[in-house]
Structures are given as C-alpha cells and as structure tokens.
C-alpha cells in the first residue's frame, strides 16, 4: 500500500481529499499545525495517521519520517494579512523541499494558481515562487494550476452567494468584467488524484479549469438564475481597488486582508493556456452552472465537508488560537448562569445548533447589531455563520466565535471570541450535576486589556444581565416547531 503525506489537511481542499485517498486504498498521513483543530468523520479518522507539525520549524520538519511514496503540498496563507505572505510561504516551501530531498518520495503534487505571465498579483507571485522552490528539489514535482474553485464552502462560491443574495442591485467595480475559468471542486479532486504516480506528469505544470470562460458578472448572474433571483449589476470604472476591497469586506463574510488579496487577483484575467493534462487524466468537466447547483445541493442537505471560513488565517487570528482551551481564572469578569434541565439530549441538540441561521436564542437583533459594529471596526462580524447547521468541530468558525472545544460526549462547548474587543472573551456551555439534579452551566468570561477593557465590560454589563440570563433559559426551553 502506497504511503501519502498530505500537508494542509485542515484546509478546504485537504479535507475533501482525505476521504477520496482513503477510499482509493492509500495509507494517508495528515500533517496539521494543530491536532485540536483537525476534524473529519470518525470513520476516516480511524483510517489515517495524524502528525502535528508547523512547517515554519525547519528542525522539526527534518524529523518527519522519510518513507512516504507521494506527498501533496497544499499549504497556503493568502488570508493572513494584506500582502507580505510570500516570505512565509517561501520559508515553508524551503523547509518542505529540504525534507523531501532526504526522503524516499517518488512525486510531490502542488496545487497552485493559474498564472498570467504579463501581470502578477501578490497572491500569484507567492504561488509561483513556491513552485520554483519545490521544483528545485530532486523529487519529481507535478504542479496543477487552478483558478477559481467552485463548491459548497469555497471562498468564491460563498462570496458570490453573499453578494447575489443580499443585493438586488449591485454597483460594482470594473473588475467584474474580468474573464476567468472557474473549476468545480470535484474536478480539482479528480485532477489531484489523477496525476498521482503518473510518470508522464513528473517535472511538469498543468493548467486545470472548467469548460466555461466567463466574467465575474456572469458568475453572479448565473448564481442568481440558479436561485431564482432577479439581479441588476451596474459597473462603475471609478471604484478603486481600496473601495472594491471595502465593498467585498462589508457585504460578504470575507475578512479585509482576504478582500484585498482577492481584489488584487480578480483584476487579472486568468484562464488555461493549454489542456496538456487531458493526456494524463480526463475527468468529466463540470460547467460553472452545474457546479453552483451541486454546491447548493450540499448546502441544502447540510453536508458541507469543508469551508474556507473555518481556516484560522481567514480571521487573521492568532495561529495558536487553540491554546485558549483553558479559560483564565484571574483578572477576569464573568457571567455564570445555571439552569436546571430535564432532558440533556434536547439541550445538547440546541447547543449544537447555536449561531448561524438558528441565532443565539435571545435578542438576535442585538447580536446582529454587535456583528455590524464589529464589521465597522475591522472585525469578522456575524456573516461567517457556520459550516454545518447541526455539526460543530474543533476549530470551526461560528459567527464571530472560534470553536475551541466541541465535545458532545462530555457535554462541553467552548468558544473563543474573534470579534474586535479590548481584551479576550470566552463563552462556554457545560453540564453539571448537583444534588441528583442536572444543570446547564453557561459561562461568559472576559479578560480585559487595560482600562478600556474594564470600561467596555461595565458598559456592556446591563445588556449582559438580561441577554445571557434569557439566552440560557431559551436554550433549555426551546422546542423546534414541526413543519
């Protein structure tokens, strides 16, 4: 059985690649920066090996086992900040290439971006630089260059969906007329697995794309057609890249750094220059419209495997955010609610459905206002929602929170705030037994930063008193109405 090393296993593509590789019979080792953030169904988790490793740490990278047959390099950091990510990606690629030269690898497969040789965005410069570093290794490299990836949970799908569903009339920048060649995520997986072990693909780069070459405006209108919505799009050539970035940031669930990097790339026409890949593998290419329809099928079935919003880098958060698994005990303010419960299974279901479309069980209007304020001051806001309406995994984005612990067996859900705050905040739900009675414990903890943090807590205290109290009560008492 061939052994595969999969880097970027917690990313959008990596999560979708794991079950396919396992089902094809490969022995898969997933390299993740934080094991606590790794989530996949128990069926597949039992069939893979997990290794915790930060590829920025060269010494630890060199200690990786050498006995892999193939490796996927799927590490990217596009969303982390405005520009400046090329140096980080190059360091990671260098460390990986040094390790690869000491290994038994037969092939490395790298998913890159379509390249316009006349104009490079910062994002594409970084991807191209990584290509050159990986190709300098003695291990045969296969590069697959993709443009916009369309699928449930993909950044392009979610951002275009946000724009179309929220704005009946759009005043857009001129880059909406830029042509692109989107590809369905299913086809990306087809190509990634199709080139594995194919010697004809060694030391080569291939462009991969779908059958349609369309503008961003056409993409939005096609999504509107699929959703049965009538939309008008007006183009203003005077909108600057900065205004375009703010437009994306305030209307969609994207962070501002990601919006800047997306606009930087969207101004450039990207399409496949050749179809050389067809000589090696020929999956049935899915049209853009069909890819949108398939994406909505997954959304409606509540079966979104991975989402770009779950990547910690999307929020610009501390890459070691899972270190917040222990709430602080000193120098903090807290609001603790105990509510007696009769049916722990019912309460668990309500807790695991919190946020997203369900909301926060009390004063959802105030939560939305808080989300708008957060967006206005540069935070993530509420638009991220949640990847799945009934499943929560460690590391998931949940509105403006990050899931630190999601343990149904121990009845514990711990959230860490990624909203803009003069301090740090946690929200925890747990089950406690006292005098043979069961209680839901809801605890909000805030660790203030300086005087402003303390002022913030006491200004919000009147809201906390009735919001958190009624929220806990409604979580216990909420009964979903039958259709």
pLDDT, position 309: 58
Rounded distance, CA 273 to CA 382, Å?
40
Within 13 Å, how many C-alpha atoms sit on residue 137's CB side? 27
pLDDT, position 470: 94
pLDDT, position 316: 47
pLDDT, position 310: 58
Kindly give the parts of the chain with pLDDT less than 70: 77-86, 116-123, 239, 241, 247, 253-265, 301-327, 383, 481-483
pLDDT, position 245: 72
pLDDT, position 315: 45
pLDDT, position 243: 72
CA angle 333, 338, 339 (to 5 degrees): 145
pLDDT, position 482: 41
Ranges of H-type helices in 78-229: 86-101, 122-135, 155-166, 185-194, 216-227
pLDDT, position 146: 92
Q: What is the pLDDT of residues 365-381, one digit of tens each?
A: 988 888 888 888 877 77
pLDDT, position 201: 95
Q: Return the closest-CA partner of residue 442 out of 430, 454, 456, 452.
A: 430
> Which residues is 479 bridged to in the sheet?
none
Q: How far apart are the first and last CA of the chain?
A: 49
10 Å CB burial of residue 389 (0-12, 13-18, 19+) is: middle
pLDDT, position 249: 72
């Amino acid at each position: 059985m061939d052994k595969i090393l999969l880097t970027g296993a917690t990313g959008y593509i990596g999560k979708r690649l794991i079950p396919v590789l396992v089902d094809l019979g490969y022995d898969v080792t997933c390299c993740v920066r934080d094991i606590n953030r790794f989530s996949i169904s128990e069926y597949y988790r039992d069939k893979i090996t997990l290794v915790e490793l930060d590829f920025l740490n060269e010494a630890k990278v060199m200690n990786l086992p050498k006995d892999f047959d193939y490796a996927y390099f799927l590490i990217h950091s596009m969303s982390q900040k405005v520009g400046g990510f090329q140096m980080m990606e190059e360091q990671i690629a260098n460390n990986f290439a040094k390790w690869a030269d000491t290994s038994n690898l037969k092939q490395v497969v790298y998913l890159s971006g379509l390249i316009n040789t006349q104009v490079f965005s910062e994002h594409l410069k970084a991807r191209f630089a990584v290509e050159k570093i990986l190709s300098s290794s003695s291990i045969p490299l296969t590069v697959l260059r993709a443009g916009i990836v369309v699928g449930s949970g993909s950044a392009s799908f979610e951002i275009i969906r946000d724009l179309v569903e929220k704005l009946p009339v759009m005043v857009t920048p001129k880059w909406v007329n830029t042509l692109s060649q989107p590809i369905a995520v299913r086809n990306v997986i087809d190509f990634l697995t199709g080139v594995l072990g194919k010697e004809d693909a060694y030391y080569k780069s291939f462009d991969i794309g779908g059958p349609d070459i369309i503008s961003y405006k056409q993409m939005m209108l096609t999504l509107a057609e699929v959703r049965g919505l009538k939309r008008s799009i007006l183009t203003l050539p005077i909108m600057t890249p900065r205004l375009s970035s703010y437009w994306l940031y305030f209307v969609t669930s994207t962070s501002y750094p990601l919006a800047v990097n997306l606009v930087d790339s969207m101004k450039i026409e990207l399409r496949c220059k050749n179809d050389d890949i067809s000589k090696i593998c020929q999956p049935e290419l899915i049209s853009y419209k069909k890819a949108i329809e398939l994406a909505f099928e997954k959304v409606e079935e509540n079966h979104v495997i991975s989402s770009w919003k779950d990547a910690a880098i999307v929020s610009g958060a501390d890459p070691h955010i899972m270190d917040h698994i222990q709430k602080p005990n000193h120098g903090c303010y807290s609001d603790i609610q105990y509510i007696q419960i009769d049916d722990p299974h019912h309460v668990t279901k309500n807790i695991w459905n919190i946020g997203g479309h369900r909301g926060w069980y009390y004063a959802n209007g105030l939560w939305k206002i808080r989300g708008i304020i957060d967006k206005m001051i540069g935070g993530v806001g509420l638009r991220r929602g949640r990847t799945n309406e009934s499943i929560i995994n460690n590391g998931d984005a949940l509105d403006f929170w990050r899931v630190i612990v999601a343990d149904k067996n121990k009845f514990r859900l711990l959230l860490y705030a990624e909203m803009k705050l003069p301090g740090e905040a946690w929200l925890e739900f747990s089950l406690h037994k006292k005098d043979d009675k069961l209680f839901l414990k809801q605890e909000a903890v805030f660790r203030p930063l300086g005087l402003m943090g303390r002022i913030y807590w006491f200004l919000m205290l009147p809201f906390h008193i009735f919001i958190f109290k009624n929220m806990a009560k409604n979580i216990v008492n909420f009964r979903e109405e039958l259709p």
